[in-house]
Structure 1
Amino acid sequence: MPRPEIAESPAPCPICGEALLAQLQQSPARLARWAALPRLPLKRGQVLLRAGDTPKALWWVEQGLLRASLLDASGRERNLAFYPEQQWLGLPGAPQASAVTLEALEPSRVCVLPYAELQRWQAEEPTLAELLWQGLNAQLQGQLRREQQWLMLDASQRYLRFLAEQPALARRLKQRQLASHLGITDVALSRIRRRLREQAEGLKP
């Protein structure tokens, strides 16, 4: 499968965060359709989807925090992405075997949008369905662009970039979870944090 091209400035997701509610509120029928979707509670550590399995639905994170992880060539677990509230889980296009495992890092609840229901959306709510595909693609493009940028940064720069872009999320992650996402060990991250603290203290009068 060809790797998607990475846009210089990916368009924002048109149906993530508060934008989803704005779209649903345009029609009582849309709100009713959304409210009728099943909700799935997840315990901390519960797996939503295992690598190699083919998903039967898309998911919207209503509460909690999930991660997408995989095993690298050396057999080490790598956290590729984190999904807090008001984010979609899934990829644009036809369902295919997942390359990652999706797991709850906190007690969570997701709204389940089965692909069968999505097909009905495409027939009855084509505008909403198209926005959903655009949103999933925007999330994917943003993640790919971030990964490309990180290749040009050292570990300290990646850490600082993550803090600048997602400060609230950084406070919710354990050190080993964040270190895995940055592609370093938790010991290396501890050293980076200590060095940054020492540099900051050295600037104090």
Structure 2
Amino acid sequence: MMSKSFLEAVKARRTYYGITNEAVTSKKEISELVEFAVKHTPSAFNSQSARAVVLLEEQHNKFWDLTLDILRGIVSGDQLQATEQRIAGFRGGYGTILFFEDSAVIEGLQQAMPTYAAKFPIWSGNSSGMLQYVIWTALEDAGYGASLQHYDPLVDEAVQKEWDVPANWKLQAQLVFGKPVAEPGEKEFQPIDARVKVYE
């Protein structure tokens, strides 16, 4: 039986857009949380293909400044104003975690087990999704509000250059977090009996 505290943490994890750049924990605690999650989140064949880059404070700001510069080159008019406001909200946070999958590991598995070659990229995505969820939930439990963003592949080249990320690390998602200052919106749920079937 799962612990009640775990289930409460799962339920409490939400998307927060109203965040500030105030730290809720120490930088060391954040890095330890990410390291723990990367180490213990499962992966297909224990491939351990997940990689993460933690950007705090000014490095976090730099990421969102770079992202906005890129978006200004492809978005215009009313859409640009809305985009600038959205990015300003993300930049207003404390940190961003960049999630990657190591393509060299995946390609090695494909070569070693060609029968499953087409499945390894899918399983890699599954593993990355689990890692994102573990860290998102853990940050929520630590007192942060967060939201998961996807500005890849637009920012991939800039990220690789700015933070010396290996070319075989493929960006999957960006988790922006900070101290929550506004509650998340109401969440509606579809009937659970239409989504889960139990046979005894």
Question: Which TM-score bucket, shorter chain as reference?
Answer: under 0.3
Report which of the two has the higher share of helix.
Answer: 2
TM-score (norm 2): 0.26
TM-score (norm 1): 0.25
